[in-house]
Amino acid sequence: MNRHLISAADLSLDDAVAILDTAEELARLAERPIPKLPTLRGRTVVNLFYEDSTRTRISFEAAAKRLSADVINFSAKGSSVAKGESLKDTALTLQAMGADAVVIRHGASGAPHRLARWVRGSVVNAGDGTHEHPTQALLDAFTMRRRLGRLEGLRVSIVGDILHSRVARSNVWLLRTLGAQVTLVAPPTLLPIAVDGWPCSVSYDLSSVLPGSDVVMMLRVQHERMSDAYFPSVREYRRRYGLDGDRMALLPDHAIVMHPGPMNRGMEIAADVADSPRSTIVEQVTNGVSVRMAVLYLLLSGSRAPDEPAVAGDTELVTAAELTATAAGSQVRVEVL
Amino acid sequence: MSAASGSHRSAETPAKRRWLIRGARPLGGPPADILIDGTVITGVAASGRDGRQLAAGADVTVLDASDLIALPGLVDLHTHLREPGREDAETVASGTAAAALGGFTAVHAMANTEPAADTAGVVEQVWRLGRQAGYCDVWPVGAVTAGLHGSQLAELGAMADSAARVRVFSDDGQCVSDATLMRRALEYVKAFDGVIAQHAQEPRLTQGAQVNEGEMSARLGLAGWPAVAEEAIIARDCLLAAHVGSALHICHVSTAGSVEIISWAKSKGWRVTAEVTPHHLLLTDELAANYDPVFKVNPPLRTAADVAALRAGLADGTIDCVATDHAPHPAESKETEWSEAAFGMTGLETALRVVHEAMVSTGLLDWSSVADRMSVRPAEIGRLSDRAAGQHDMRHGCPIAPGSPANLVLYDAEPIRHVDPAEHASRSRNSPFAGLKLPGQVIATFLRGTPTVLDGRLAS
C-alpha cells in the first residue's frame, strides 16, 4: 500500500480488499467490552479540517483513538490564503510537531496532494473540494459487501450532483477496481462533460435505472446549485431525481439505499425511504469507523520513524496476523490497556 | 566557440562601437559575416575562406559566431513586467534582463499593473523605466478600459499621443466582454492605427474556472474552463472587427476551434491577427494531475489535439506569431492549493528554446519562419516596423541587412540542457519547463549595436 491515501484511483484491488478485510476484523473488535487496540500507541494523528465536518472528523478521531494513537484536532476554517497562514506553513508546523499521519479535509481539490509534498508522515484525504473522498467510498464498499455479500458484478446506481461530488468520484474509481458496475444518474447539467470516458454508464432517468440496481446511492444536492441554473427548482429536482417511496418500490427486493450524509430529507431522499429497512445510512456511519481504523492501521503500523526507539512489550506493533488473532477473540492484549 | 575577442575600450561610447560577427548563419542559412557600425548593420557578406572583406579597420571587435544562428532581435507582444505595483514578482529591469537573455530586443508590457496602465502617466512611466534599464525596448500596452474594469474606455488617445506612443491596447487578464464596449474600442483606435488585443474569455462560462474543461477537469474535480468560452468571444470579435473595419489581435490562442475561427476570419480578408504562447505549443492539461500550480495558467493548458492544431496554425500562418505571456509570480502565489494559486508562467528566457523544440525539431518551421513568427510579425502587429524616438531608429523585426538597426540574436542550436529557473534573471521562478530538457541556448543579443547578452550572460 502507498504511504498516503489520497485518491481511490490509487488503490489496487489487493490494497482495497486488504482494507475491507482488515476493517471486517476491526469491526468485530467494536463488539467487545473494551474496543481498543494498542497498535498505534505513541503515534500522532492530526485531524486537519479546513471545512466543517463533524461527522467525518469524529469518525477519524474515534478510529485513531481505538488504535491508541494520540489525536490532535486542528480546525482551520476558510481558505488558508485568505485567513492567514498558508497550507504549506501549516504543513511545516505539523511536520515539526511530529505528525505520523495527517487527515485532511479541505475545500480545495488537490489540497492533500500539495500537503503530501510538505510533510513526511502519511496523508489521508478526508475529502478535498469536488475531487475525492476515498474513505467514504471504502466505507460504502464495506457496507455493500456486508449487506449483499459481494462487490463483483454488483449493480450500483449513484444519483445526484455527480459534477460536484467527491463521493461519486471516489466511488466510481473504487467500485471499478472492485468489479462492480456503476451507473451515474443525474440531470445532464450535473454530470461532467467528459463523463463518457469514465468506467461507468450514465442515465438521465432514475426510474428506468432502479429495477436493475442492487444498490442506489443518493447524493446530497446543494440548494445553491439551483441559483447557478443547474436545475430549475427543488420541486422539479425532487420529482425527477428524488427517491420517494413509490420509486423505492421499483427496486429489487434485496436492494439497499445508501446516502453519505448529511441528507436533505424531502429533497433527494424522502423521510420514509431514509428510515426504511433498506436504508444503510446509520450503518454507514458505524462502518466508517472500522474502515478508517483499517486505513490508519495499514498506513501507519508498518512504518516507524527512524529516530523512534523500538518499544517492547505490550506496545509492540501488532502484525496483521496478530491483529487478526487479537480481534478474533484473545482478550489478553486488550486487557493490559 | 563564441568568446568575444578584441579589447573592450571603455573610452569608446557604445554608439560608436563596431562589431564584426563572423561566421553566423542568418536565418539558419549559409555562414556570413555581419558588420555592425554603431547602431546599424552596415554589411552582410558570405563568409569566404578567409572572410576578410568586412574586417576593415582595427577598431572592430570580432565575435566568432561560427555555427550560431543569427535571427533578428525577437519581439514579444505579450509580457507582464509587473512594475509598477508588484515589484516583488518582477521589475522592468529584471523582466527586460530576462527578455534579453531570451533573445528579445523589444517587449510589450501588459497593462494589468497596480495601478493599471490606463493613463498617459503610467504608460510613460513604464516607457521611461524601459529606457533606463536598457536591456530591451519596452513598449507599454494601454488598458482598453479604465482600471481594466470593463465598464468605461480608458483614455486611449492620450496614451497613443504620449511619449510611449501606445498602439496596442488590451485588458489582458480580463476579457472586454461587453460587446458594445468592444465595438467602440475597435472603432476608436482606428484614429491612430491602434489595435485591440483581446483576452478572449467569456466570463460567465468561466466562473471559478481552473483547468481545461474535459477529461482532466472531470477527474481532478476542478472547475472547467471550456474551449467554447474562448471561441465564442473570438468569433464575436472577428465579426465586430469586420463590421467596423478595425484591427483585432487575439491574445494567447489556446484551442483547435479558435484556430479554425481565425482561419475563417482571415479568409474573409478581415484585419485579425493572433498569437500563441510557447507553453500552449508544448504542454497539455495532463500536467495538472498532481495539482502543482506551476502548471496553472490562463487560458489553461489544453489537450494534445489542441497543441497539434496550434502548431499547425502557427506553421501555416493562421496564427501570426509567438508571444510569451511571461507572467512572473512570487513563490507564495504558487506554493499553495491549486484553486488559490495565481494564474501564469514565466516564459521569456525559454521561449526560443521551446519554439525550437515544438516547431523546428518537429520540422514544422525553419529558422527563417521562426524569425517571421517571433520578430517580423509581432513587430508589424505592434506597429514597431517604422518606429523612431528622437534620432533613434526604434524599428524592430527588420531584415538582417545593411541599413537595419542592429537588433540581433545569436543562437546556438546544438546544446541540450535542463531548464533551471534558479538560473533565470526573472525575479520569479514559476517556469513550467523546470527540469525539462530543451535544445538551444541564446549566446548573444544585440540591441541597436550594443550587446545586452554575451557568452550567454547579461553584458555589463
**Average pLDDT of the segment spanning B108-131:** 97
Q: Answer yes or no: do A279 and A141 share one domain.
A: yes
**What integer pLDDT is reported at residue A335 of this predicted model?**
27
Q: Which helix or strand (DSSP H or E) is residue B392 part of?
A: strand B392-393
* Measured distance CA(A94)–CA(B272) in Å, rounded: 54
Does A263 fall in a domain?
A: yes
Q: Which chain A residues are closer than 8 Å to B340 by Cβ? A: 79-81, 108
Number of folded domains in chain A? 2
Q: Answer yes or no: do A45 and A163 share one domain.
A: no
**Predicted confidence (pLDDT) per residue in B32-79, tens digit:** 999 999 999 999 999 875 545 565 566 899 999 999 999 999 999 999
**What integer pLDDT is reported at residue B2 of this predicted model?**
41
B393 close to A (CB below 8 A): no
Q: Which chain A residues are closer than 8 Å to B214 by Cβ? A: 193-194
For the question of residue B320 being annotated catalytic, the response is no
- Of B212, B285, B337, B340, which to mutate for an interface test with A (greatest number of A Cβ within 10 Å)? B337
**What integer pLDDT is reported at residue A189 of this predicted model?**
96
B217 close to A (CB below 8 A): yes
Does A43 fall in a domain?
A: yes
Structural contact between residues B106 and B382, judged by C-beta atoms closer than 8 angstroms: yes
Interface contact B335-A88, CB threshold 8 A: yes
**Average pLDDT of the segment spanning A112-119:** 96
Q: Answer yes or no: do A104 and A173 share one domain.
A: no
B43 CB-side CA count, 13 A: 17
Amino acid at B393: D
Q: Name the phi and psi angles at B17, rounded to 5.
A: -65, 145
Does A159 fall in a domain?
A: yes
* Measured distance CA(B185)–CA(B181) in Å, rounded: 6
- Of A7, A83, A114, which to mutate for an interface test with B (greatest number of B Cβ within 10 Å)? A114
Task: For cell 520569479, name the residue.
Answer: B428
**What integer pLDDT is reported at residue B338 of this predicted model?**
97
Structural contact between residues A198 and A169, judged by C-beta atoms closer than 8 angstroms: no
Q: Answer yes or no: do A102 and A186 share one domain.
A: no
Question: Would you kindly state where each structural domain of chain B is located, as residue ranges?
Answer: 14-70+397-458, 74-388
Give CA separation, B236 vs B176, B228, B265, B271, B318, in Å: 11, 12, 11, 14, 18
Name which residue leads in pLDDT, B279 or A311: B279
Does A3 fall in a domain?
A: no
Interface contact B338-A108, CB threshold 8 A: yes
* Measured distance CA(B381)–CA(B170) in Å, rounded: 13
CB atoms within 10 A of CB A261: 16
Return mean pLDDT, chain B.
94
Burial A120-141 (b: 16+ CB within 10 A, else e): ebbbbbbbbbbbbbbbbbbbbb
CA distance A213 to chain B (A): 25
Q: Answer yes or no: do A299 and A330 share one domain.
A: yes
A88 close to B (CB below 8 A): yes
Name the CATH superfamily for B14-70+397-458.
Urease, subunit C, domain 1 (2.30.40.10)
Q: State whether residue B41 is helix, strand or coil.
A: strand
Which of A205-214, A270-279, A322-331, B22-31 is predicted with the least confidence, judged by mean pLDDT? Answer: A322-331
The count of CB pairs under 8 A between chains A and B is 77
CB atoms within 10 A of CB B147: 16
Tell how many helices (H) and how many strands (E) occur in chain A. 14, 9
Q: State whether residue B61 is helix, strand or coil.
A: strand
Interface contact A114-B214, CB threshold 8 A: no
Q: Name the phi and psi angles at B135, rounded to 5.
A: -80, -35
* Measured distance CA(A317)–CA(A39) in Å, rounded: 5
Per cent of chain A over pLDDT 90 is 74
Does A2 fall in a domain?
A: no
Q: Kindly list the strands in the beta sheet with B195-198, ordered across the sheet, starting from the edge strand earlier in the chain.
A: B168-169, B195-198, B248-250, B272-276, B321-322
- Answer whether residue A109 shows pLDDT above 70: yes
**Average pLDDT of the segment spanning B364-388:** 94
Of the listed B33, B171, B325, B393, which one is catalytic? B325
**What integer pLDDT is reported at residue A227 of this predicted model?**
78
**Which CATH number goes with the domain that contains A188?**
3.40.50.1370
Q: Answer yes or no: do A112 and A143 share one domain.
A: no
**Average pLDDT of the segment spanning A48-61:** 91
Q: Answer yes or no: do A267 and A168 share one domain.
A: yes
Interface contact A79-B340, CB threshold 8 A: yes
Q: Which chain B residues are closer than 8 Å to A132 by Cβ? A: 221
Q: Which residue range forms the structural domain that includes residue A76?
A: 8-132+286-335
**What integer pLDDT is reported at residue A270 of this predicted model?**
97
Q: Answer yes or no: do A273 and A177 share one domain.
A: yes
B74-388, which class in CATH?
alpha beta
Point out the residue among A80, A110, A164 whose CB comes nearest to the CB of B220: A110
Banded pLDDT at A34 (limits 50, 70, 90) = confident
Q: Answer yes or no: do A98 and A32 share one domain.
A: yes
CA distance A94 to chain B (A): 16
Task: For cell 439497499, name the residue.
Answer: A256
Q: Answer yes or no: do A89 and A148 share one domain.
A: no
Give CA separation, A220 vs A38, A224, B230, in Å: 37, 12, 33
Burial A21-55 (b: 16+ CB within 10 A, else e): ebbbbbbebeeeeebbbbbbbbbbbbbbbbbebee
**Predicted confidence (pLDDT) per residue in A197-229, tens digit:** 999 999 999 999 999 999 999 999 987 777 788
**What integer pLDDT is reported at residue A228 of this predicted model?**
86
Does A271 fall in a domain?
A: yes
CA distance A335 to chain B (A): 45
For the question of residue A77 being annotated catalytic, the response is no
Structural contact between residues B26 and B70, judged by C-beta atoms closer than 8 angstroms: yes
